[in-house]
Structure 1
Amino acid sequence: MRQFAVIGLGRFGFKVAEVLAKKGASVIAIDRRQDLIEKISDFVTKAIQIDSANEEALIASGIKEVDVAIISIGENIESSILTTALVKNIGINEIISRACTSLHAQILKMVGATRVIFPEEDMGVRVANSVLSPGILEYMELGADYTLAEIEAKKEWIGSTINVWDVKNNFGVNVVIIKRKIVETVEKAEEAKETEEAKEKEIKVLPTANYKIEEGDVFIILGDKKDIERFEKKWK
């Protein structure tokens, strides 16, 4: 039997967890609010009150054992993106994440979501059914006031690690992904002779505290518009 984790127990997430559990699935329900955990605990296999953006707490919840993670965090875009990235990093192969805007959906896919949805309350039932019996759904796009910025690594950053700059504590923003261009050598057949050719390729990297910054790295940064502007002005 497949096992599921539902992270975020608003009206949508609660309904997903409830329907999955009633259909006999094993469900871990996770939310930071204790009242929601108490409310869902009678239905699911396990209900845990933690901050899902805390990697240690997330691992301790037993999420490594699930087959599918459904991240149904509402309009806290920062938390939904960080949680999606952490779940991907933990090793969950199927990740369904709730998005508020098309831009939010794009970054969720970049950090690891295998499927992105734009639900309303009654879609909880449809999504729960879709992960039990595959199907295609359409979703409504919502609005949210967050900014996503691409910033090329500044000369001051080159050679240092991300933890040196600690942008979360100093500026209130998060580096959610880093784009780096690399040159790889490919073999090419030309007139019955094997030749080599250099080809530029872009890779996307989930940042870690010890990630060493190189010239040309592009940082995708998420945060409140004012915090992003403050961060950008610092390096002008």
Structure 2
Amino acid sequence: MTQNVKSAQHIRFLRQPFQIVRDNFRAYLIINAIVYGLVITGMVAAMVFPNLGATQVATMEDNGMTDLIRSLINNPWLFSLTILGVNVTSGALLIVLPSLIVPFAGIAIFAYRAFTLGLALAPTTKIMAVAMIPHSLTALIEFQAYALLMFGAYILGRSWVRPATIGARNHRQGYVRGLQQLGWLSLSALPLFIVGAIWEAFSLGYLVPLLVQWLL
């Protein structure tokens, strides 16, 4: 009996986020287009206007992010854990929490963040171009996790402002139901953050140095 209950819970955990995406597939595609489009726009902008990319890199130097990466890069598991913590915290602070207070606020905030991350990822040097070979997979995975959070923020905001879209009678009920769907999408984003963090740490620590030696 207990085993059957656990199996049902696992099936629901896997099925519920996909059901939410399927029911709102057009919005999901639009959110993805916004996220990846802004990242690519940031990368192109940094290549066309090198000062933009240089400013973003300097900001990372000033806030200690670059030094942190250097200190952890030879310890991939600790590096993975740090990346995971940074990504989850960023998602919570930039997307989820603002959206709990103001409808759709997290979408606007992270849209700007996606553009600035694109500036930092731009392959403006030969080493950065080589690093982006494996790091492009990191970006694909991690930004999909952020896209799921933004999608959840959209569902919450829409349910809050227009309760009828989620079958709720009033704004309070719409907020609660939207929050439940945001919760399911947040849970589905977590495995992506974990896989992305592990791949990022090991690829930067081991694969990128090998590629730099072979290709440059």
TM-score range normalised by the length of the shorter chain: under 0.3
Greater fraction helix: 2
Higher relative CO (Cα under 8 Å, sequence separation at least 6) belongs to 2
Greater fraction strand: 1
Q: TM-score, normalised by structure 1?
A: 0.23
